[in-house]
Amino acid sequence: MAKHRAVIVGAGRIGAGYNWHDDVYTHAGAYKALSDRVELVGFVEPDLERGRACGIKWGIPWTTDLPMALDVQKPDIVSVCTQPEQQAQTIGRALPFGIKAIWCEKPFVSAKAWIPIQVNYLRRGDPVHQKIAREHQGGKLIVYGKDDIHTRCHFDDLAKWWKATLEYHVENGPCRYYYTMGSTYDDLSWAFPNGGVDGGQCMKAMLGNLLDHLDKGDPLWSPPT
């Protein structure tokens, strides 16, 4: 089976690890980790400093021009790592180039597309979180985290996935959260300190699921809802 080809739009922290210490916890790192199934062939980044940095770091061609990248590189998958308000326009501009799927960062802003979209709520790629979704839906999700949309959206999605009530406490520092089926932490509860997931493994799992969807028709773990 031929490898899929991928282009990343947005070479910031989550796209390419710009000024970030954990390269595995990026779209580029996930593509490299699954290089037997998919080849990262290009970046699109309007900021020249970020573009040069990602080109040097990953040894992959980059351009500021999205249509040119899609026309020349002919990717099957486009990672959308832009700001949320730029997602719909980016997806709309990519669709005419015959791509097969989109891997989009969160928080996801509604965009019309006739191809599969995997929204990167990466906790959906973690086995423990999947087990709770299968076996223990309901209950309460108690979160201590920052008061910003990039943190909150993960837990809005997690509560929806688990069909749980969300209790959110604003707190600076590392995010931590608990899931309980009763009225206290001790009533069949799970504790998730320091963010709760192995980010690199979850990125790899989310991409792997998207590839399995394309190759075998497996259901997507995190489609737009």
* Residues 142 and 72 reside in one and the same domain: no
How many domains does the structure of the chain reveal?
2
* Residues 161 and 132 reside in one and the same domain: yes
* Residues 36 and 145 reside in one and the same domain: no
In a domain, 224, yes or no: no
* Residues 101 and 159 reside in one and the same domain: no
Q: What is the pTM of this model?
A: 0.94
Q: In whole angstroms, what is the distance from residue 106 CA to residue 100 CA?
A: 20
Q: In whole angstroms, what is the distance from residue 102 CA to residue 113 CA?
A: 9
Q: In whole angstroms, what is the distance from residue 38 CA to residue 2 CA?
A: 9
* Residues 137 and 94 reside in one and the same domain: no
In a domain, 116, yes or no: yes
How would DSSP label each residue in 11-39? -SHHHH-TT-S-TTSSHHHHHHHTTTTEE
* Residues 203 and 95 reside in one and the same domain: yes
Residue type for 191, please? A
Q: How high is the pLDDT of residue 183? A: 73
Q: Which residue has the tokens 């970020």?
A: 50
In a domain, 223, yes or no: no
Q: How high is the pLDDT of residue 142? A: 94
Angle of CA points 141, 26, 102, to nearest 5°: 85
Q: In whole angstroms, what is the distance from residue 129 CA to residue 123 CA?
A: 7
Range of the domain at 104: 4-121+199-216
* Residues 67 and 176 reside in one and the same domain: no
In a domain, 222, yes or no: no
Lookup: tokens for 24: 């595995």
* Residues 161 and 115 reside in one and the same domain: no
In a domain, 64, yes or no: yes
Q: How high is the pLDDT of residue 111? A: 74
* Residues 149 and 59 reside in one and the same domain: no
Q: In whole angstroms, what is the distance from residue 146 CA to residue 201 CA?
A: 23
Q: How high is the pLDDT of residue 144? A: 95
Mean pLDDT by 10 residues, the chain (225 residues): 92 90 89 97 96 94 96 97 94 96 92 91 96 93 93 95 96 92 78 90 97 98 92
Q: Count CB neighbours of 159 within 10 A.
A: 19
* Residues 38 and 102 reside in one and the same domain: yes
Q: How high is the pLDDT of residue 1? A: 63
